[in-house]
Structure 1
Amino acid sequence: MSFLSDAVSRIKASPTVAMTALAGELKAEGRDIIGLSAGEPDFDTPDNVRRAAVAAISSGKTRYTAPNGIIELRKAVCEKFYRENGLTYTPDQVLVSTGGKQILYNALMATLNPGDEVIVPAPYWVSYPDMVLLAGGTPVIVEAGIESGFKMSPDQLEAAITPKTKWLIFNSPSNPTGAGYSREELKGITDVLMRHPHVWLLSDDIYEHIVYAPFEFATPAAVEPGLMDRTLTMNGVSKAYAMTGWRIGYAGGPKELIKAMTTIQSQSTSNACSISQWAALEALTGPQDYIPTSRKAFERRRDLVVGLLNRCEGVVCPTPEGAFYVYPSIADLIGKTAPDGTKIETDEDFAKALLAAEGVAVVFGGAFGCSPNFRISYAEADEVLVDACERIGRFCASLK
């Protein structure tokens, strides 16, 4: 009999992390590998943020903090939510965690019981369903494919809700597609939730600042204030400020929920890194000129990659509204055969054969619950992206 828990058997390792690790191993062996699988800005953390971290170390701010985060940062989060999103929270309605992933984990662990259902629109970030399973809940997948712009409709949401539904996990702009819901589209979603008062909303706004005109970001609780008492709005500094390794996420929500999440955190990791918290405080309150500069670079890269991929035989690549991913369809390539004899029956076959033949690491669409597609992160230098797309085009042209 295995000594491992039933909970572990319900989940799998992150496919994005696995592909990134494989690409790293092949590169270390001397292979010419281009890794486009990691969801991570390639820019350095802004200078003022790094200086704040050094100052925190120098001044001895290296000890335990309150489990829910230093009061200075929680106040800054409240100010950020009000200033940028029109949401009003008090510091006791805010939790700071070790990355956005821990916010999700805490929320689901604090609220789910066996039999509870969580609606997860697909394509989804790979960790959403597994976190639900780990917490003992049941993920209910609602697929929104390329024909709908990768966006779930209000009718689809309505049809998925049952008396057992506890949460809707919502991500706009989305990982993996970059699809963003307009204010009008959000209103359609929130109208459905208003008709079902037992359903809570977990809004993952991590890509809030990486959006491209004419699209404008909005968060659900601001579109429908009537949802504030059952919405957890989460964000973080990882994507907007190129602080992935600093591991700081935060959320605002009802006091009872935040208190329960803090209890979970106090018995797991306790506080997030104290130095990272002081750095995050500077990120939120200091100069914001990094954001438009990086956004402009990401937009240029988006347009470059979309244009190049749409020239590849059998590839259809929509233009995303935000984030730094594209999610092209390869429906026309399924059933073909690679030069080494590999039959491309799934998008996973495509990703593995592409890596073997051309040394380009992407993540297959099945990992995100919507196939046949693959995800590219265009958080790389322009010349690297051009090289990668040329290799992808060469591989696609070789399929027979």
Structure 2
Amino acid sequence: MRTSIRTQRFPESIIREMTRVALDVGAINLSQGYPDFPAPQAIKDAAARAIQDDWNQYSVTWGLKPLRDAIADHYRRRYEMDVNPDTDVVVCCGATECMIAAMLGVVNPGDEVVCFEPYYESYIPNCFITQSTPRFVSLRPAADGAWTFDPDELRRVFNAKTKAIIVNSPHNPTGKVFTRDELQLIAELCIAHDVIAITDEIYEFITYDGAQHTPIATLPGMAERTITISGMSKTFSVTGWRLGYAVAPADLMVGVRKAHDFMSVCAATPLQVAGIAMLTLGDDYYRQLREDYAQRREFALEMLREVGFKPVTPEGAYYIMADFSAISDEDDITFGLRMAQEIGVACVPGSPFFSRPERSRNIVRFAFCKKRETLEQARERLQRLKRR
């Protein structure tokens, strides 16, 4: 075998595979989470100007100073976090790189990493790369529709080997927004066991029904033990720009920056310049973003319910997890492929989000970050499910 033992354990990304399937068969792509509508004109203009103004060479490895200043100011203004732009910030090629850089920076072989399940699919390969062991805590839909976890189950997974916990809120794939009480429990366990919180907050501005995003770093005792990750991809509809950033206290950031340096050197310089423009957009932009996504969410939920899916209403992000057991007794992979090939709508089978296959058998994920016309076309095609 010429491939490494480490990568042999990696699954293929089913999310990206379903996009390839959608392209091959001409299906409407509600699988991968990227918008099919344009990014704001102002930030596209800023990127084009940066290229024309010859911002085309390497930046400082951890990001242009004006962008790091803007990121630090963003956290001060919005969350009252004290962030030093010179020591506490790194700009990476997407939040995904931030996450692996964070894990390489602080996790050692043999450590354990707590992860809520279902989870975003890259977290487990990150454990393989760092030779750490994931320990899972289940998220389950409650009677009111919100996803929740058993506090005692969370307490049980913390032990002397626990080095970090990954907290993704708003959550992909469920749309859960962790409450302050839930974050407080996580914080208490982190402090009691000397554990680092690595947070994925890329959907921080996409929340619904009054749900409030709270960075766990703002809780007492957590600023010194949290690596906070976010970025521009989702908020500004530029997923292909690969602009993410992490903030952390200087002693944790040292390892994160080193890992980033030898993976990618720096994020694309002209896009970093445009990133400064993104962070200067006013509150009206974020308010409109939430309103637009709330309308898409309601349309998508109705679209799924009317053909027999049982969706769980998300509190944040732009995904819907839906049970299809009333429509088909197929497994999730078979159903997902048939949806793309025969119905003409691509979704993501539940398998990549779960460590235990029995939990994903009747579950698929839909992304609703699409134009209204796209969602209307998907609704028409989904009517074919009724005729089977």
TM class, shorter-chain normalised? over 0.9
Distance in 2 separating the partners of 1:288 and 1:244: 21
- Report if aligned partners of 2:107, 2:164 keep a CA contact under 8 Å in 1: no
- Report if aligned partners of 1:327, 1:374 keep a CA contact under 8 Å in 2: yes
- Report if aligned partners of 2:37, 2:371 keep a CA contact under 8 Å in 1: no
Distance in 1 separating the partners of 2:48 and 2:104: 34
- Which residue number in structure 1 is paired with residue 376 of structure 2? 386
- Which residue number in structure 2 is paired with residue 115 of structure 1? 110
- Which residue number in structure 2 is paired with residue 81 of structure 1? 75
- Which residue number in structure 1 is paired with residue 348 of structure 2? 363
Distance in 2 separating the partners of 1:390 and 1:196: 52
Does 1:136 find its partner at 2:121? no
- Report if aligned partners of 1:68, 1:262 keep a CA contact under 8 Å in 2: yes
- Which residue number in structure 2 is paired with residue 211 of structure 1? 207
- Which residue number in structure 2 is paired with residue 152 of structure 1? 149
- Report if aligned partners of 2:159, 2:193 keep a CA contact under 8 Å in 1: no
Deviation at 1:25, TM superposition (A): 2.0
Task: Give 5+ residue unaligned stretches, structure 1.
Answer: 28-32, 336-343
SS at 2:317 equivalent: coil
SS at 2:115 equivalent: strand
- C-alpha distance after superposition, 1:251-274 (max 9, x if no partner): 110212212121122222101110
Distance in 2 separating the partners of 1:263 and 1:190: 27
The one-letter amino acid of 1:41's match is: P
Deviation at 1:6, TM superposition (A): 1.5
- C-alpha distance after superposition, 1:265-288 (max 9, x if no partner): 222210111011101111012445
SS at 1:234 equivalent: strand
- Which residue number in structure 1 is paired with residue 316 of structure 2? 322
The one-letter amino acid of 2:340's match is: L
- Which residue number in structure 2 is paired with residue 57 of structure 1? 51
- Which residue number in structure 1 is paired with residue 252 of structure 2? 257
* 1:154-193 equivalent positions in 2, closer than 5 A: 154-193=151-190
Deviation at 1:7, TM superposition (A): 1.4
- Which residue number in structure 1 is paired with residue 7 of structure 2? 8
Deviation at 1:53, TM superposition (A): 1.3
Distance in 1 separating the partners of 2:186 and 2:387: 41
- Which residue number in structure 2 is paired with residue 69 of structure 1? 63
- Which residue number in structure 1 is paired with residue 98 of structure 2? 103
- Report if aligned partners of 1:10, 1:134 keep a CA contact under 8 Å in 2: no
- Which residue number in structure 2 is paired with residue 237 of structure 1? 232
- Report if aligned partners of 2:241, 2:271 keep a CA contact under 8 Å in 1: yes
TM-score by length of 2: 0.93
- Which residue number in structure 1 is paired with residue 339 of structure 2? 354
Distance in 1 separating the partners of 2:385 and 2:104: 44
Does 1:293 find its partner at 2:288? yes
- Report if aligned partners of 2:323, 2:363 keep a CA contact under 8 Å in 1: yes
The one-letter amino acid of 2:173's match is: P
The one-letter amino acid of 1:13's match is: E
The one-letter amino acid of 1:157's match is: L
Deviation at 1:172, TM superposition (A): 1.0
- Which residue number in structure 2 is paired with residue 338 of structure 1? none
Distance change in 2, residues 1:392/1:122 (3 Å): farther
Q: Which moved more, 1:16-25 or 1:151-160?
A: 151-160
Distance in 2 separating the partners of 1:49 and 1:109: 32
- Report if aligned partners of 2:105, 2:254 keep a CA contact under 8 Å in 1: no
Deviation at 1:43, TM superposition (A): 2.9
- Which residue number in structure 2 is paired with residue 278 of structure 1? 273
Does 1:20 find its partner at 2:19? yes
Deviation at 1:367, TM superposition (A): 1.3
- C-alpha distance after superposition, 1:205-229 (max 9, x if no partner): 100101113212111111x230111
- Report if aligned partners of 2:25, 2:341 keep a CA contact under 8 Å in 1: no
Does 1:202 find its partner at 2:187? no
- Report if aligned partners of 1:154, 1:192 keep a CA contact under 8 Å in 2: no
Distance in 2 separating the partners of 1:355 and 1:259: 45
The one-letter amino acid of 1:375's match is: R
Deviation at 1:347, TM superposition (A): 1.5
SS at 1:356 equivalent: helix
Distance in 2 separating the partners of 1:276 and 1:298: 25
Q: Alpha carbon RMSD of aligned pairs, Å?
A: 1.8
Distance change in 2, residues 1:319/1:329 (3 Å): same
Deviation at 1:21, TM superposition (A): 1.4
Distance in 1 separating the partners of 2:280 and 2:62: 19
Distance in 1 separating the partners of 2:104 and 2:352: 23
- C-alpha distance after superposition, 1:81-138 (max 9, x if no partner): 1111221110111010011011011111222222211111011111111111122111
- Report if aligned partners of 1:305, 1:386 keep a CA contact under 8 Å in 2: no
Deviation at 1:358, TM superposition (A): 0.6
